[in-house]
Amino acid sequence: MRRILVWTTLLMMLAGMTCRAEGRGITAMTRVTKWGQLPVRFEITGQALPGGVSASDFAITGRAAGWENTSLHDFSCGVAAIEEIEGGWALIPETFPEKYFYVRELTVSCAAHPELDFGLSDIGRTLTATADDFTDVEDHDSRFTAHVFIPEAGEPLPLVLVFHGYGDDHNLLSYRTATAWAEPESQAVHPCVVVAPVINTTYYGSEIARSRIYEGVVHYIDALIDAGKVDPRRVYAMGNSFGGMAALEIAEQHPGRFAALLALCPALSYGPNATAQLPLLRDVPVAIALAENDETIPSSVGIAAAEAIEAAGNDRVWLRVYTDDEMIAAGATLGREYTYSFHHVELAVMEDEAYASWLFSWTMER
């Protein structure tokens, strides 16, 4: 009889929790920071916030994967604040320790009020500021897929072509190299179209495949020019790591198409033909930024590239080499095993308006 009562009580408790949770709607509000996509707010509607509950009553735990790594590791995060909102409540986490798209398990628990608990499967939707404003385009013939941001404008706009690094298929969420140009603050100063190709890792490692993708990219940009969306005199290319190599490579293969180039820690050691063709960039302004002690691509690679372009007669080369102290100040840590190693020079570059001002200062004569 006692066992029946225990089970009955347990079922009643579970039923009560289910009833209290029924009708809830949970939205994860995220944004792309220099650390990638981070949740900044969880909004819960259809459930009242009990009196006396505080941020210290909550705990956030979970497990996440990593860059090209499917093994999971544990993480935890504190809660900065709890707010009442119309129709429910909101939880504001402290600085989240993981890129949200890598999170595979998430538990938000409240010891004092377990009816407020929720997990990853309870989150009905995820909204990401700016990144959600991009649309997808695809060209199967050239294996060209991209996220594209086209603001409303009454005249043709500059275009920034952004190539991601090797393996960074989540190119809108991994870092700000693409989304930064589309953020409202940036658009207010430098209105532009943003095209961010997504390149499969297998294709990225093939020079032939890359060249085919570049052709698709140029064809798409031409279509935007023909539609009156883009100013052909102000098309720029940039990228980080493999993307830095791609930005230089596409300009080599399609001369006279780009007004200026911005290459961050370009992985030219993986593109010997790209290195050999650097003199073809003698007529286009080129900025190269890298860390002095980059653990992945030696700084000598980018420095040699800048010297080769200058030697070809280009007097519009800007080389910026970041010291260890500058990389640490930007949030990097020396060592390839760290998520934000010194290879991630975008931590400094994408927070510095000087690069955008430099890029948009160039207009190509046609």
Question: What is the domain range of residue 314?
Answer: 131-360
* pLDDT value of position 3: 40
Query: For position 7, what pLDDT does the model report?
Result: 40
Note the pLDDT tens digit of each residue in 267-323: 998 878 888 999 999 999 999 999 999 999 999 999 999 999 999 999 999 999 999
| 339, pLDDT greater than 80 | no
Residue 59 lies inside a defined structural domain of this protein: yes
Query: Quick one: 78 and 149 in the same domain?
Result: no
How is residue 74 annotated by DSSP?
Answer: E
pTM of the model: 0.91
The tens digit of pLDDT for each residue in 41-79 reads 999 999 999 999 999 999 999 999 988 778 899 999 999
Q: Which pLDDT belongs to residue 101? A: 95
Residue 8 lies in a domain: no
Residues 201 and 222: their CA atoms lie apart, in Å, by 26
Same-domain check for residues 105 and 248: no
Q: Do 70 and 150 reside in the same domain of the chain?
A: no
189 and 40 together in one domain: no
- Are 53 and 172 in a shared domain? no
Residue 192 lies in a domain: yes
Separation of alpha carbons 194 and 190, rounded Å: 11
Question: Is the residue at 82 inside a domain?
Answer: yes
Does residue 218 form part of some domain?
A: yes
Q: Assess whether 145 and 268 both reside in one domain.
A: yes
Q: Do 145 and 160 have their domain in common?
A: yes
Same-domain pairing of 199 and 108: no
Q: Would you place residue 16 in the very low, low, confident or very high pLDDT band (cuts 50, 70, 90)?
A: very low
The CATH number that applies at residue 124 is 2.60.40
Does the pLDDT value for residue 1 go beyond 70? no
**pLDDT tens, 104-155?**
999 999 999 999 999 999 999 999 999 999 999 988 776 778 999 999 998 9
The whole-angstrom separation of Cα 272 and Cα 285 is 21
Q: Which long-range contacts (CB under 8 A, 24 or more apart) does 225-229 make?
A: 225/156, 228/156, 229/150, 229/153, 229/156, 229/157, 229/193
Final residue in a domain of this structure, among 128, 144, 166: 128
83 and 135 in a single domain? The answer is no
> Does residue 200 or residue 360 have the better pLDDT?
360
Indicate if the pLDDT at residue 222 is higher than 50. yes
Same domain for 203 and 346, yes or no, is: yes
- Looking at the chain, how many residues does it have? 366
pLDDT of residue 17: 40
pLDDT the model gives residue 336 = 65
- Within a domain: 10: no
Number of folded domains that form the chain: 2
Which CATH number characterizes residue 253's domain? 3.40.50.1820
Residues 351-366 pLDDT 10s: 999 999 999 999 998 6
Average pLDDT, the chain: 91
Structural domain includes residue 255: yes
Domain finish residue from 128, 145, 179: 128
Give tens-digit pLDDT for 88-108. Answer: 999 999 999 999 999 999 999
What distances in angstroms separate CA 353 from CA 47, 231, 239, 295, one per listed residue? 43, 22, 16, 26
Is there a single domain that holds both residue 124 and residue 148? no
Q: What pLDDT was estimated at residue 22?
A: 64
Judgement on whether residues 53 and 148 belong to the same structural domain of the protein: no
Q: Average of pLDDT values for 32-39? A: 95
Instruction: Give exposure, 37-56, as e/b (b: 16+ Cβ within 10 Å).
Output: bbbbbbbbbebebeeebeee
Q: Which of 128, 158, 190 is the last residue of a domain?
A: 128
pLDDT over threshold 60, residue 5: no
Please give the pLDDT value at position 38.
96
pLDDT at 216 over 90: yes
pLDDT tens figures, 243-277: 999 999 999 999 999 999 999 999 998 878 888 99
Q: Does the residue 14 lie in any domain?
A: no
Percent of all residues in the chain with a pLDDT value above 90, rounded to a whole number = 80
